[in-house]
Amino acid sequence: MFGPEQKRLGEARDRRFEIEASLEPLFADGMITEVLGLVRKGKEANVYCCRGSRWSGREYVAVKVYRSLEQRGFRNDADYQPGRDRGLKGQARRALANKSRQGRLVQAGMWTHAEFETLQLLHAAGANVPEPISCSGDTILMEFIGDGPEAAPMLARVALSADEARNCLRQILDNVTLWLRCDRIHGDLSVYNVLYRDGGIVVIDFPQAVDPRFNHNARHLLERDLENVCGHFARAGLHPDARRIANEMWHRYHLSRL
């Protein structure tokens, strides 16, 4: 008989194979030499702390592995998709449009690449984001944010003094401004996607970032991002007005005065 225990073991084994299959090319290329642990099972991806090598240039690296298409709860793309398929040619564009399995593969690859490219752009501009190292298929290799192999906590889990909170909020708003100057809005900003390390912030999780020049939901997403983070600071006695800040940023963005 095939009982629940065997089923669980079978699922665990399938997952292990899936992880190994995704990480294998990174071992083969010498970018990682050991998997030290699963940092977190996120909404759409698993993130592992791995030992780097002289090729990856760091002692510890983070590997974000997007789940297989079947296991992944895709976000509702409608808000984010506009402008995203600009680079696609005939067949890929048609597959995406008719939502076939091939289309979902195209879509999955687009999200991984979109996150990697956004990290490259923003890191080069000096934003507080992990340094991207490489990207292929469903994985992104990037700087590990933590203390040694210990991952930094999410801002949502850190108790801050009033001064620390003020400083943190300033850093977040400076980052949102800098991203906008680079024509990017995070689109899923929250205190769960901000890591806190040595009194500073590092923002992660950019697959859905949008370019306001091509996305008509951009202003709404900017406002929602700011509302999501600003609300968190009430517990430290700060009451930033997210709508006013969003309005001002948007206005300055259009006057090219950010």
CB nearer to Mg ion: pick between 96 and 172? 172
CB of 207 vs ligand ADP, minimal distance in Å: 7
CB of 119 vs ligand ADP, minimal distance in Å: 9
CB atoms within 10 A of CB 125: 13
Q: What burial class does residue 218 get, using C-beta atoms within 10 Å of its C-beta: 0-12 exposed, 13-18 middle, 19+ buried? A: buried
Q: Is 86 helix (H, G, I), strand (E, B) or coil?
A: coil
CB of 115 vs ligand ADP, minimal distance in Å: 8
How many residues line the site for ligand ADP (CB under 6 A)? Answer: 20
**Positions in the binding site for Mg ion (CB under 5 A):** 42, 193, 205
CB of 99 vs Mg ion, minimal distance in Å: 25
Please give the Cα distance from 67 to 87 (Å, whole number): 24
CB nearer to Mg ion: pick between 53 and 193? 193
Tokens of 84: 């995203």
Residues 135-194 that bind ligand ADP (CB under 6 A): 142-146, 151, 154, 193
B/e letters for 24-56, b = 16+ CB within 10 Å, e = fewer, are: eebeeeebbeebeeebeebebbbbbbbbbbeeb
Q: Which residues bind ligand ADP (CB under 6 A)?
A: 39-40, 42-45, 47, 62, 64, 130, 142-146, 151, 154, 193, 204-205
